[in-house]
Structure 1
């Protein structure tokens, strides 16, 4: 809920750890995230409202262009460079368990969907909604973003303006703008495939154990969309891989 120049959000078990992360980002001068202002009299988080336009669906043309994708890659790189020096509190609790295949190297956003990116002047400006943040790797956070922004998805599940995009070229563009080393580029498809398998299992489990929004997403076809994305990736693997060599 927006209240003036602030946003009020329910406290979650992970909120103290997320607040520590956001405070670190402020301390190191990263301006692309909300600031923590405390907790209100109703026990809600108080965060600064980040002005601009969220890339809500259906997407506007500026959000699917190459300039936006390159700008997002630069924003994610700045965020990763800023969070790399963050040391989580010893009692930190994060919202979701790890799905990675390597030891964490930083705390990532882990939910860089279009809805969680604020644009200003038709350029990506800030990341919001850090509820899913957790220890991860740079590459896994990148793969999560590319799932939605390349996008690595069956065309039937994409936003209308994303249906005919050259996904391979967009993967390469993001990697170039981020400055991703060649050794990591070659792992993007492999890690994307692993993420699909693990996110399917994780979402199915949370739909059963947590219910609520997780159950609604699952009932709304989240599992089927993940399966279709994995099948599309398998079918276009060689074509996409050629852009990452």
Structure 2
């Protein structure tokens, strides 16, 4: 433990700037903390306690949140976080978030980040970044969600699609091999996530197309970061195969759209 506290690793946006001090976590406050903090508190009032509770803001622009105990997987992702039971529990946890969030009014005056937001918009706040680094596990099951920095209004199905990208994962085999255990069956795992969430039949039919749309939004997000000269994103892009990887991934998604639809509906 340093004077700054224990550094918490994971993620790229706030890498090296998140510290734990006892039961509190201090991290850079998002610009919309004034709207995000009341939202997180309202979630708890509606029965969703599986997220950090905001405690306050510091004078130097940081936010304080309650520490959520448990295990968080970092890349390359270990086998334990990619089990079928873990995947199903992620879907169930996301459904719980959405059910509570549906009862919370979104502050329409706030400037919610658009980087990963649903282009179609919506009346409910989506997390938008449910990657393994942002899910806390206990006893092999997803227990909590952290890092709501990218939360923005959208459709629940958009959040499922963004989650599927990371957890199935919706990546061609070459791309997946760099970060995920070998042998993951993408169509079967997409069905497990949909079952865990409880997607309706119309939503299942729409999901593969929304995943392709979400992938394009994520590519644009990376392109903006690279154009800004972000060292982390420049390095990640180079190490993971550059834009050729994105081209390959998007072609693979389009080529397998019917396979994914069949797995979801049959």
Is TM more than 0.5 here? yes
Aligned with 2:49: secondary structure?
Answer: coil
Q: Is the 8 A contact 2:75 2:179 kept in 1?
A: no
Q: Is the 8 A contact 1:204 1:218 kept in 2?
A: no
Q: How far off is 1:67 after superposition?
A: 0.5
Q: How far off is 1:234 after superposition?
A: 2.2
| Residues 20, 209 of structure 1: alpha-carbon distance in 2 compared, 3 angstrom cutoff | farther
| Residues 224, 110 of structure 1: alpha-carbon distance in 2 compared, 3 angstrom cutoff | farther
Q: Which residue of 2 aligns with 1:66?
A: 84
Work out whether 1:147 is the aligned partner of 2:144: no
Q: Which residue of 2 aligns with 1:19?
A: 37
Q: How far apart are the structure 2 equivalents of 1:18 and 1:76?
A: 18
Query: Where do residues 16-165 of structure 1 align in structure 2 (5 Å cutoff)?
Result: 16-97=34-115, 99-158=117-176, 161-165=180-184
Q: How far apart are the structure 1 equivalents of 2:230 and 2:108?
A: 29
**CA deviation vs aligned residue, 1:48-92 (integer Å, no higher than 9, x gap):** 010000021222222111110111111000000011122123431
| Residues 161, 205 of structure 1: alpha-carbon distance in 2 compared, 3 angstrom cutoff | closer
Q: How far apart are the structure 1 equivalents of 2:246 and 2:220?
A: 10
Aligned with 2:47: secondary structure?
Answer: coil
Aligned with 2:249: secondary structure?
Answer: helix
Q: How far off is 1:207 after superposition?
A: 3.0
| Residues 224, 33 of structure 1: alpha-carbon distance in 2 compared, 3 angstrom cutoff | farther
| Residues 160, 41 of structure 1: alpha-carbon distance in 2 compared, 3 angstrom cutoff | closer
Q: Which residue of 2 aligns with 1:193?
A: 212
TM-score scaled by length of structure 2: 0.84
Q: Is the 8 A contact 1:98 1:136 kept in 2?
A: no
Tell me whether 100-109 or 174-183 shows the greater mean CA deviation: 100-109
Q: Is the 8 A contact 2:56 2:63 kept in 1?
A: yes
TM-score scaled by length of structure 1: 0.90
Q: How far apart are the structure 2 equivalents of 1:98 and 1:58?
A: 23
Q: How many residues align?
A: 245
Q: How far off is 1:101 after superposition?
A: 4.9
| Residues 219, 77 of structure 1: alpha-carbon distance in 2 compared, 3 angstrom cutoff | same
| Residues 15, 207 of structure 1: alpha-carbon distance in 2 compared, 3 angstrom cutoff | farther
Tell me, which stretches of 5 or more residues in structure 1 are unaligned?
A: none
Tell me whether 113-122 or 32-41 shows the greater mean CA deviation: 32-41
**CA deviation vs aligned residue, 1:152-180 (integer Å, no higher than 9, x gap):** 00222225544311111111111112110
Q: How far apart are the structure 2 equivalents of 1:133 and 1:151?
A: 21
Q: Which residue of 1 aligns with 2:262?
A: 242
Tell me whether 63-72 or 12-21 shows the greater mean CA deviation: 12-21
Work out whether 1:227 is the aligned partner of 2:247: yes
Q: How far off is 1:41 after superposition?
A: 4.4
